[in-house]
Structure formats: C-alpha cells, structure tokens
Structure 1
Amino acid sequence: MSIPTPDETTTGNTKTIAFFGATGGSTNACLTHALQAGYHAVALARTPSKLTSQLLNQGLSQNTLDSQLRIIHGDATDPAAVRETILLSPTHLVSQIISGLGSFPVLSRGSFFLPHITLDNPTICESGAKALLSALRSIYSDYPSLESSRPLLTVISSTGLTTSPTPTDLPFLALRMYHFLGAVPRADKMRMEALLSVSQTADLVRGVVIVRPSLLKGSGNVTGEGKGWKNIRVGKEQSPAVGYTVTRADVGEWIFEEVVKKEGDDWIGEKVSLTS
C-alpha cells in the first residue's frame, strides 16, 4: 500500500486512525466509514486476510485498501505490536485510536448451577488497555517531542457497569440477566475502564471517550443494518440512554460521525450510552 507521508497524517481527511479489534462488527463499521471518507488507517489484526475480506464485503475496493489502509499482523495485547500500529514515524503518531477489543463468549456454569457467559479470553479488554498504555509510555520515552501530539482514544465498553448513585443504563428486566449471564465480560470491561481513567491516561492521550452500547446485534454491515446513527438514543453517565439492544452498524457509524469526524469534542471524558 501507499503509506501516508507525515504531512498526510495531519491534513484533511488523510489523518491516520489506528484501529484495534477491527474484525469486530462495530469497529469494522467505523473503519469502513473512515476509509470511505478518505481517511488513512492502520489496523492491527491477528488474521489480516479476515479483515481484508470483511472490508471488501463492506463494498470497499481493493484500490482503497491498498492506498489507505495498512494492516499489521499481531496481537493487541502485545505492546510491541501496538507500538508499531500507533507510531507512524519518529515524528508522527496516529491522530486517533479506536479500540473495540472483544472475545468469543463461552457458556459456562456459575454458582448453584446457574449458567453464565464467560470468554475464551476473559481479560482481553484489560490486557489490551495495559498493552496500549505500555506502548504509549515507551514511545514518549524514546521520542519525547511526540507528547505534544497525543492521540484521542475511543474504546467500546458495555452497559451494565454503572454503580450507585449513578443512574443505571439498563432496563429493569435486563438487570438480572446482566448479573447472572454477563459477570465475566462486565468485570473485564470494568477493569479496562479503570485503567483508562483520567488519572492513568492524562499524560498519554489527548482524552478518552468510553462508548457503552446496549446489547449488540447484527454483523456491522454498513449498508443493510441499523436505523442510522442519527436515529439511535445517546446518553451520558449521569443521564444514560436506557434500552435493550443496538446494532453494531449504528454504533460504528456513531463513533465515526461524532468522534472521528468531530475529534470527539463533545464526548471527551464521557461514558456514552448508545441504544436503539
């Protein structure tokens, strides 16, 4: 591919965005919209061929992928691979980071023989956050001048993480389901969010936007799913949007429109709930 030059990373739609978990539906939809709009992107993927196939199936051309996207083969829990993804050159970092890491659910049994959902990697979000922070620290240690161009970080988390007295972002009928079935995924997301608190990231990124979608549905196809990003309900932690589900396509489009295009100005430091 034609890797963006340093000037291209800071001019117009050719800003370069880093994507982690890009084979996941919401992040894949966001990446698709970014490439369609002319942005350059770098994506870390354990299976690059899978990501390429997904993007072609989204309607992107091979020419677009060749000219605007660089795929790095690696794991998002490996600080060295993460560093390679976000460091464009000794003088340039990516302008934004979008992370939608996740793992495959596995049905297990909890206490008193009640089933619950665990993950094939139950610490993927926490481990990914640790790797990202480690990579950023190593970059600034080697290239201190890059601290002035810290990237904006957006991560996809989950509803069901609020604690009293913060209003819940879950419908009443979903409270027990989340408690019994989603304990392991929720715990991983909570540890990730704790790692990305302002006190932990203030010197590493320009800001953090935490997106908490309702139960995700759909594959993330940008042309056949969802209501459109303008038609979903949006809330913040103190006044959350409460609902049952939202499509991955709508979440990805919302992140592109509200964070990527607008540099997240309205959402930095917020925990944003999205639901249909």
Structure 2
Amino acid sequence: MSIATTQQQIAFFGATGGCTNACLVHTLNAGFHATTLARTPSKLTSMLLAQGLAQSTLDSQLTIVKGDISDISAIKSVLTNNSATFQVASQIISGIGGAPKIQKSLRRPVTVDNPEICATATKNIVQALQEIYEAQPSTAQHKPSITVISSTGISDVKEDVPFGFRTLYHVGLATPHKDKKEMERLVLENSGAGGAFCGAVIVRPSLLTGDQSVKGGKGWGKLKVGREEEPAVGYTVHRADVGEWIFEKVVKAGDCGESFFGQKVTLTTLEFDLFQSEIAKIA
C-alpha cells in the first residue's frame, strides 16, 4: 500500500549496489517517486523487476538518467528529475562505492578500482547542487538532505569494530576506508547553514553480507543501532536490512531524517555466537 502523501522526489546514486537498491525498492513500493543515475539503465531495471516491482510502477514512479558520477550534467538531471524549473529532490541517498581489488601488499592488501570514488562523488554532487542554486536561486530555499553509506572502522571517537575484525578493518581495508572518511568530512562540511545540503545522515554498517534482495534480510527492526559516541558493535549486517532501515528512518520519516542530521549511525546484527554459526554454514 502506498504511504507517500506528496510528490516527493528522492534522488538515488549507486542504486545498483545492495543497500541502495533495497532502499529504492522500498521507496517505490511505498509510492514515492525516485530518480537515479545508472551507467547501464537496463541492468538497474532488471534488478528492480527481479525484486517483484511491476513495470507499471517503474514507468510511473522512476526516472533513470544514463550516466556516471563523473558527469555533472547527468547528476543535475537526477537532482532535478530533468525538470526545466529546477525543482530539486527533497532527499539524496548515496551508496556510491568502488569494487574491491586484492593487491600484492602486506600493508594494504585490499584496494578498490577507484580509491577516491566516494569523495569524488560527494564533491560532484555538491558542485551540481551549487550550479543549480546559482542558475535558479529560489531552489536554495528547499535544499535536500543527504544520506551516505559509509563503514564502521573509521571512527576517531570510539572503537566500533569487534576485536576479531580489527586487523581486517584497520590494516586490510585502510585504503577504501580513507575514502569513506573523506566522504564523511565532505558531507558534514557542506551541510547546514550555507551548505549544499540541509542536513546529512551518515550510516556506518558493520561488514556487509547478502545481496539487495528485500526478502533475504532479517528485517530492519532487528538491527542494533548506535551513534558514534555509543556505537552498536557487531560482526555483520545484511545489505537489505541496511537499505530498509534507511527507508524507514530517513526516506519515510516526515522530517526527512532530521532527527539523525549530523549523526554517524552504526548498524549491525550478529553477535559473536551467531557469527560463528554463519561461518560454520560457509565451511
């Protein structure tokens, strides 16, 4: 049943990724309108149809802009839904990230195909918004919020990674985490008075498992939720549950997630005994 009461437009970046794709599915199922960027629109369409969405829903509620995150013009089209009046989306959900790559290095064994993709994407979204505001100043009166998917293991305040994963996170994943940390700095720096965004929500899930299938998770209500000062510490979390949490607490929220503005929210599920059972299934 549709819960959207207004023609809110939600802008998605990285919608073929697991967490963001799941969030998009819930958003469309709830009756919201969305615009997303995709290098291969047919791939995204196939993923959404496989999730049980009807073609008629995609036709009436979703606009896919072909392009990538380096294309400022394409980003502007996503943010304004190709509108000549430059009506800006009310919210931005970004799950942009690079594909992991293993390299021959004891100090940095894991890198990504584009080690600065998260920071670059954020800079380009900010630039696109600034150009929109300059072209039509009235749009700056209704700036969008932004929610980005980051990672645990990068906090300067309190350890949010269980002991058994600290070498993996602090050594093995140092390169992609450096990019996530810069992304976080940029979204917070550009939020609030004078910024490109009215507010920012940073989501830090623990190690992601599963895919985007909304039927594959355990449900957002079972997640352990924390803040940077008091993080929820755990081993893994399902991508679909992260996406559903973002929908429930940000997209669906009447205040556009304002209660989480400026927060670094940690999400996890499995305790150590459940983690061991999951490992046993794989073995």
TM-score above 0.5, yes or no: yes
- 2:94 is the alignment partner of 1:103: no
User: Deviation digits for residues 159-179 of structure 1, max 9, x if unmatched?
Assistant: 11101xx11111111111112
The correspondence of residues 89-238 of structure 1 with structure 2, limited to 5 A, is: 89=83, 90-110=85-105, 113=106, 116-163=109-156, 166-197=157-188, 199-202=189-192, 203-223=195-215, 225-238=216-229
Distance 1:249 1:179 in 2: 25
Give the CA deviation at 1:77: 2.5
Give the CA deviation at 1:220: 1.4
Q: 1:230 to 1:13 in 2, by over 3 A?
A: farther
Letter of the 1:160 partner, please give it: G
- 2:42 is the alignment partner of 1:49: yes
TM superposition score normalised by structure 2? 0.89
Look up the SS of the partner of 1:201 in the other structure.
coil
The correspondence of residues 69-84 of structure 1 with structure 2, limited to 5 A, is: 69-84=62-77
The correspondence of residues 26-45 of structure 1 with structure 2, limited to 5 A, is: 26-45=19-38
User: Deviation digits for residues 237-270 of structure 1, max 9, x if unmatched?
Assistant: 1111001110000000000000001120321110
CA contact (8 A) 1:109 1:116 kept: yes
The aligned counterpart of 1:6 is: none
The aligned counterpart of 2:280 is: none
Look up the SS of the partner of 2:36 in the other structure.
strand
User: Deviation digits for residues 191-242 of structure 1, max 9, x if unmatched?
Assistant: 1111112x4333211100000000111111001x121001010001111100
TM superposition score normalised by structure 1? 0.91
Give the CA deviation at 1:14: 3.1
- Unmatched segments (≥5 aa) in structure 1: 1-10
Look up the SS of the partner of 1:189 in the other structure.
helix
CA contact (8 A) 1:77 1:124 kept: no
Q: How many residues align?
A: 260
Letter of the 1:147 partner, please give it: A
User: Deviation digits for residues 136-172 of structure 1, max 9, x if unmatched?
Assistant: 1101111100111101110001111101xx1111111
- 2:12 is the alignment partner of 1:12: no
RMSD, aligned CA: 1.3
Q: 1:119 to 1:91 in 2, by over 3 A?
A: closer
CA contact (8 A) 2:199 2:258 kept: no
Distance 1:221 1:118 in 2: 26
Distance 1:100 1:123 in 2: 14
- Unmatched segments (≥5 aa) in structure 2: 270-283
Distance 1:191 1:115 in 2: 18
Distance 1:13 1:36 in 2: 15
CA contact (8 A) 2:201 2:261 kept: yes
Greater displacement, 65-74 / 172-181: 172-181
Letter of the 2:140 partner, please give it: E
Query: Percent sequence identity over matched residues?
Result: 51
The aligned counterpart of 1:248 is: 239
Look up the SS of the partner of 1:266 in the other structure.
helix
Distance 1:116 1:14 in 2: 46
Distance 1:257 1:48 in 2: 26
CA contact (8 A) 2:108 2:174 kept: no
Distance 1:216 1:168 in 2: 18
CA contact (8 A) 1:14 1:38 kept: no
